[in-house]
Amino acid sequence: MTGFDNLYQPEFSEVLNKKFHLYGKWKESVFNNTNPIVLELGCGKGEYSVGLAERYPEKNFIGIDIKGARIFRGAKTALQKNLKNVAFIRTRVDFVQSFFAKNEVNEIWFTFPDPQAKRIRKRLSSSLFLNRYTDFLVDNALIHLKTDNKLFYEYTKALAIENKFKINYASDNVYDDNNLPEEVINIQTFYENQFLAKNNKINYLEFNLNNILPFNEPKEFNDKFVLVNS
């Protein structure tokens, strides 16, 4: 329908309580390799999926977003750059388990996700979602969060501490931190540029999930981490 052969747009009926036809087959059927898969959930215009694909040809990247106009931009850019290691799925993150088999995914990026000010369980980094992701993530998978929302960053960091995840990087101002991976600084999204124009500080968190399930919410989340002023 879009003319983009790197974009998949299943109907809800195809993935609601069903496995997508590429479930467990992304490496062999889409990328034609056995390289690790990295997801960008809520990818927007796909700046990170494309930017990371350029930097890491030894990995495969899949951007996921429900908004068509946004994701079309990412798919088009990837084709223009002739990138073979990046694809996009237009769907709700709620359905992500229908797309990937156990141990099929190695990393997840959240780039400026909706902080879900008053709906903690809807946050992409909540314990509810992290528990779901373990259905398809490898052991000790890497999780990356980049956000302008300080409380959302602090909430996710508290959740990581609560569940004894190994925190590799925790920065509340990435442009004043010389110890971060290059891609955290040099890839900027459309929304990040808007936040920077407002002089918002950008936060970054990277951690490894452990295998101690189920994951729990930080004990103090009921009051401190409801993002009233988001």
Question: Amino acid identity of 86?
Answer: V
Active site residues: 114
Phi, psi for 188 (deg, rounded to 5): -125, 135
Measured distance CA(160)–CA(207) in Å, rounded: 7
Contacts of 145 (CB under 8 A, 6+ apart): 109, 110, 113, 125, 153, 156, 203, 204, 205, 206
Return the closest-CA partner of residue 77 out of 89, 66, 88. Answer: 88
Measured distance CA(119)–CA(7) in Å, rounded: 30
Bond prior to 36 in cis (omega within 30° of 0): no
SS3 call for 62? strand
